[in-house]
Amino acid sequence: MKKIAIIALNIISMMLPAALLAGEKQGVMAEYRAVEEAIRNRTRTRESRDAMLKNNIMRAMRVALERRYYDDREQRVKTLTWEALEWENPTSPNVYYVKFETFIVRFQFAKDPEFYIQSPIHEKFLVIDPALMKHEESDRTQNPAPAAGGGTTTPATGGSAAPGGGTTPAPTR
């Protein structure tokens, strides 16, 4: 019985200081807002932003390759290095075009990947087919684009004005 009483007194003595110190305290909200403002306004160095971007793009490319080539993912991902990637983002800070070997992927992130750890919200994965690309190159050389100023569109007929003054009919659908 004495042992139970001693254990009960020990438990009560451990809980008593916590119960006396816990409770409502002024200034917690102000401290929270100060910490939140400091996090929001901190400046990041160019090196830390580049490292975050590198990690996000590498992770996105690795996951995209592993998802599409599950059976031989180790072989596909083995050669994936930052130096092997080519990338650009000409349209938006949240959209990146990444090329790796024979793959081109368009990654769209929810927020700027230089500042936040994240996965892309949308990706479009394309495989470069050399035969198809060769075929497109030969089409461009055989059928060059018309020279600038070679003809103007007439709004009434939808045809184009020929240099001799006549119009060519609009194509039918």
The pTM of the full predicted model, rounded to 2 decimals, is 0.57
Is residue 6 situated within a structural domain? Answer: no
Structurally, how many domains does the chain consist of?
A: 1
Tokens, residue 85: 């990637």
105 touches 64 (CB < 8 A): yes
Is residue 155 situated within a structural domain? Answer: no
Is residue 14 situated within a structural domain? Answer: no
121 touches 108 (CB < 8 A): yes
pLDDT at position 13 over 80: no
Domain that includes residue 98, residue range: 46-135
Is residue 32 situated within a structural domain? Answer: no
Mean pLDDT of 57-75: 92
